Each structure stands twice: as C-alpha cells, then as structure tokens.
C-alpha cells in the first residue's frame, strides 16, 4: 500500500509540474494596465474609463508590452486570441475612407520600445521580432495596393512575408477579432481575423519561421504596437487571451462585466490546476493511508 501511495504522490507532483508549466495571460478588459510597460503615446492614455488598451488617441506612435517576459517554453509555441477596435478615424485616408495606420501584435526582446509611425505602424525597426499587422492604409506595392489587410512581419520590416487583403475596414468602429497561433514543433505561424467572434476554419496568412532562432530566446516580451501619420484614429485592444502552448482558441471568452476604472482585473497568472491536483491528491493519499 505504501508503494501505491508513493506512486500516486509522484503522479500528482508530475501533474502539478505540467500544470504550472503553461503560462497564460487573460485580460477580459484593461481597467488595470499595471502589468504593461507603456511606451510613446500609449503611456498617457491608460488606464481609461472605457477599460480598453488604447495605443493611440488620434495621432502618435505607441506600444504596450507585458513588463515580465512571457515564457514560450522549450518549443516556443503559443496561441492567442484578442479583439480590437479603431473608432472615429481622422485625417487623410485612402480609397476606403479616412484614417490610418493599424495595429501590430508583436513578439520581441525589448519591452520599452516603439517603432516607426505612419506606415511603420509602431513596429518598423523593432528587431529581433515577429509581428502580425492589421493594416488600414494603402502604402502601395508593399501592401499589395490594399488599404485593409493582415500580414506577417519579421524583424521590424513592414514588407510582409505573407499578406492577404480583408474585405471591409478594420477602422469601421466595430470590434474585430484575431487569432495568432505558432506551432513550435512544425514552425508554422498562422493568423486569422474576422468581424465576428467565430474562429475561421482556414488561416488568412501563414508562414514557416523558427521563432527561437529569430528571437534568440524563448522568453520574450509580447504586446501590441500602433502608429499613425497624417491619418489616424484611436487604436484600441478590447480583450486579450494568450497561452504559452500551441492550443488554438475557439472564440471569444464568456463576456465579463467591466468593473469601475479603479478596479483591478486579471493580468498575468499561472493555471490553478496544480493546486487543485495537489488538494485532491492529498485527500486521496490520506484515504489510502487510513485504509492501509
């Protein structure tokens, strides 16, 4: 019986280790932005009464990255889902209307940085890095003459290695939804975007990239950039979920009531599965010892 108890204990310890090995981030809203390093124009815009992560108001260049590095584990895999909105675009525009320039989901190695404005979308020049851009302005050939597209960027270049025009406008004031998944075993990076919370079956863009080799580390700063030129508008992240493993997220989480502006919200946390496993294991061990 003692050997069975010891064996059960080892299983529970292993389960606890596996449970704590997956790092997660969950922001149903951004009433509290204390977990972020805010750079450029973003530093003066958060927190705010709308409980969004506001990267720019109308014009400017800014970024928000988690202050603590995010562990991408041995194979550097991750899955993320976030929602964003760009209401009330202003200034110059292109064929689909006023406003520019978009948002970039970014994985990089220096937290306190923001890149070039305008067509640089706050990402240009940040290297080493990997980014997924949601671009709202037609900058010509590098954008495949598209004023609304998703693209995958590497090492601070906004000449995307993969790009797809998206019908509609990201800066139409509505909430858009995005999914980015990286499989560190196959090195496949995929990104999806939709005007609804239903995850598209097929990726809009994908490419093969060795993320640890590109970054030089499996511990990275993760967040968002934005930048404007003569066209602009508020660029806002509404919610964000990030998992440190390849586990594609199906859709939007259950809506969470937004607390007051001063109320803290969940920021960076480890799964509670380990605590539950240890608690249940303790009960099981005690029961087995009593029976022996």
HEC readout, the chain? CHHHHHHHHHHHHHHHHHHHCCCEEEECCCCCCCCEEEEEHHHHCCCCCCCCEEEECCCCEEEEEECCCEECCCCCCEEEEEEEECCCCEECEECCEECCCEEEEEEECCCCCCCCCHHHCCCCCCCCEEEEEEECCCCHHHHCCCCCEEEEEECCCCCCCEEEECCCCCCCCCCEEEEEEEECCCCEEEEEEECCCECCCCCCEEEECCHHHHHCCCEEEEEEEEECCCEECCEEEEEEEEECCCCCCCECCCCCCCCCCCCCCCCEECCCHHHHHHHHHHHHHHHHHHHC
Does the pTM surpass 0.85? The reply is: no
> Per-residue pLDDT for the chain (292 aa), expressed as one digit of tens each?
434 333 333 333 333 333 445 789 999 999 999 999 999 999 999 999 999 999 999 999 999 999 999 988 778 899 999 999 999 999 988 888 888 999 999 999 998 888 888 889 999 999 999 999 999 988 777 777 788 999 999 999 999 999 999 999 999 999 999 999 999 999 999 999 999 999 999 999 999 999 999 999 989 999 999 999 899 899 999 999 999 999 999 865 444 333 333 333 344 444 444 444 444 455 444 444 555 4
């Amino acid at each position: 019986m003692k050997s069975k108890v010891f064996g059960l204990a080892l299983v529970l310890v292993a389960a606890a280790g596996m449970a704590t090995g997956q790092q997660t981030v969950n922001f149903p809203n951004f009433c509290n932005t204390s977990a972020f390093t805010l750079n450029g124009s973003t530093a003066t815009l958060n927190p705010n009464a709308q409980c969004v992560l506001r990267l720019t108001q109308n014009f400017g260049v800014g970024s928000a990255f988690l202050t603590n590095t995010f562990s991408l584990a041995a194979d550097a895999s991750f899955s993320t889902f976030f929602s964003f909105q760009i209401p009330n675009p202003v200034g110059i525009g292109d064929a689909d209307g006023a406003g520019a320039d978009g948002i970039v989901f970014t994985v990089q190695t220096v937290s306190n940085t923001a890149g070039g404005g305008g067509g640089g979308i706050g990402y240009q020049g940040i290297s080493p890095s990997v980014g997924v851009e949601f671009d709202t302005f037609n900058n010509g050939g590098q954008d495949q003459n598209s004023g609304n597209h998703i693209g995958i960027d590497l090492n601070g270049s906004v000449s995307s290695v993969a790009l797809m025009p998206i019908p509609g406008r990201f800066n139409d004031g509505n909430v858009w939804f995005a999914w980015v998944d990286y499989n560190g075993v196959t090195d496949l990076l995929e990104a999806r975007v939709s005007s609804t919370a239903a995850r598209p079956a097929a990726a809009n863009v994908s490419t093969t990239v060795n993320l640890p080799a590109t970054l030089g580390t499996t511990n990275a700063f993760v967040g968002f950039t934005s930048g404007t030129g003569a066209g602009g508008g508020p660029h806002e992240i509404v919610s964000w979920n990030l998992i440190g493993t390849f586990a594609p997220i199906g859709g939007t989480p259950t809506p969470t009531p937004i607390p007051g502006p001063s109320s803290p919200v969940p920021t960076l946390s480890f799964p509670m599965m380990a605590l539950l496993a240890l608690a249940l294991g303790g009960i099981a061990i005690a029961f087995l010892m009593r029976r022996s």
